[in-house]
Each structure stands twice: as C-alpha cells, then as structure tokens.
Structure 1
C-alpha cells in the first residue's frame, strides 16, 4: 500500500479531451483523495462473468525522463455498489479478465518531486463469442515499451 500520486500538486501534461474522459475523471476524483489502496482479492471480479468491471486504469509512475518506479492497476468497486471507489488489482487479474489496453491515455507531471504519471484505460476485449478462439494474453511488462 502506498500513495497513488506523490502529492496533490500534480498537473496535466499536454492535456487533451478524450472519448473516455469520464473514466479518467472518475478515477482522478477518487485518486486525488485516496491515501492508499490495498491489492484486493479479485476472484469475485474476474472469474465470474457477471461481475467483470467496466474498465481498469493503469497508473505508471516514473521519475521524469527516468526509470519506471511502479505500474499499478485499479478497477471500479462495482460489487460494493459504490462506483466512485476503486480497488487495486494485479496485472494477472487483467489477463484473466481478458482486458486489453485501449489507445486512451493521459499524462500528469509533478514538478515538485520530478515525477511523471501516465494513466491508461483497459477494457474487456470485445470478442465475438461465435468466432471466439483462445488467445493467450501477454503481461503488459512484455508489451509496454
């Protein structure tokens, strides 16, 4: 458990309005006021097809122009009925849930602590069940550049 952002003074970097803007806004409203988030037991979310989250957010934290410090994943807490809360899950959970990274991201910067944050949206891969074939997902650590 640790803070999602280094402090409350992060600012958007090259801000743009995206199709998935509401998802980013929901997450940021929660993350700015969240001190920490324990990694949840996600069996009830990803193994039951009726409880699959609408989306997931990946937060990549790194030193500005430096090494990546952490990659964390969060889903809306739909089981609790409170869509303004998020739970931290593992990358393996997203693979089990067949989530795919969308081309939707936002960047944030903290000048005070020289940190850079990238937020990415993941959604369940929309597969046509009639033509479904088994696809072995690779962890994002193998895909991300």
Structure 2
C-alpha cells in the first residue's frame, strides 16, 4: 500500500476556481494524508456507473515523474471507499478522456509536486472510436 499524498503538508499551488470544483474537493478530501490505497483489480466498478475519474501525477519538484495513478468514483457508494484506484488500461478501455481541468499541489517539506487532472467519459460512439491524444497513454504522453 502506498499513500496518495506524501504528508499533510501538501498545499494548493496557484489555486484556481474550476467548473468541476466540487469533484476536485471531493477527491482531495478523500485522498488527504494518510490515505493509502493499492490498485484494486478484483472489484473494479462497471465503467457504465462511473461518471468521472481523477489522475494524480506525482513528481519531484522540477524533476522526474514518480507516478501516475488513476482513481474513479466508487459506484457502490461506500463513503470510506469513495474512490477506487484503477489502471490506465481500464481507463482507456472505459473510454475516458482528459479534460482541460486540473489543480496543482506542492509539498515543500518533501519537495514534491502533484497535479490532479479530471477525466470524463467520452460521449462519442465507441463504434467510431479513434485514438486521441487527450486519452491517457504512457507511450504518447508529452
């Protein structure tokens, strides 16, 4: 199990108010230190029941990436498990697309930078699906 944020000293960095503010607040409140999670493979929610997803990118401040993790709303409604960690492959197969909505956080104690990105289900018919740069993908991330 690994913690989502490094410690309780993580603070917003250049905070901006977004149209999806409540969803970001729900995720940040749930993920507050010392929340720990592992990728859940056995009990993945049905993608039909998941309205949105969050990506958490962790890196050394002005340095290399340490991790990219994806979380989706738990369809079961268990308040303690409001979000479930999923793999990037699950997100791609479920047809989620990254929107231009993000929030940044910084931990001065551990010199870490966190970016939280918002993903929403792509409304395009999956039958006519084409690869999109907006989709998550380790091989195409710029």
Task: Give the TM-score band, short-chain normalised.
Answer: 0.7 to 0.9
* Deviation (angstroms), 1:134: 2.9
The TM-score with structure 2 as length reference comes to: 0.87
Is the contact between residue 45 and residue 74 of structure 2 (CA under 8 Å) also seen in structure 1? no
Residue by residue over 1:11-37, the C-alpha shift from the partner in whole angstroms, topping out at 9 and shown as x without a partner, is 111000001111100001100055211
Name which of structure 1's ranges 131-140 and 86-95 shifts more when overlaid on structure 2: 131-140
The yes-or-no answer on 1:133 pairing with 2:134 is no
Superposed CA RMSD:
2.0
* Deviation (angstroms), 1:139: 4.3
Name which of structure 1's ranges 32-41 and 107-116 shifts more when overlaid on structure 2: 32-41
Q: Which residue of 2 aligns with 1:26?
A: 26
Q: Which residue of 2 aligns with 1:69?
A: 66
The TM-score with structure 1 as length reference comes to: 0.86
Q: Which runs of 5+ in 1 are unaligned?
A: none
Higher strand fraction: Structure 1 or Structure 2?
Answer: 2
Question: Per the alignment, in what secondary structure is the counterpart of residue 56 of structure 2?
Answer: strand
- For 1:1-145, what aligned pairs fall within 5 Å after superposition? 1-41=1-41, 43-46=44-47, 49=48, 51=49, 53-78=50-75, 80-82=76-78, 85-127=82-124, 129=125, 132-136=127-131, 139-145=136-142
Q: Which runs of 5+ in 2 are unaligned?
A: none
Structure 2 distance, partners of 1:15, 1:90, is 28
Size of the alignment, in residue pairs?
138
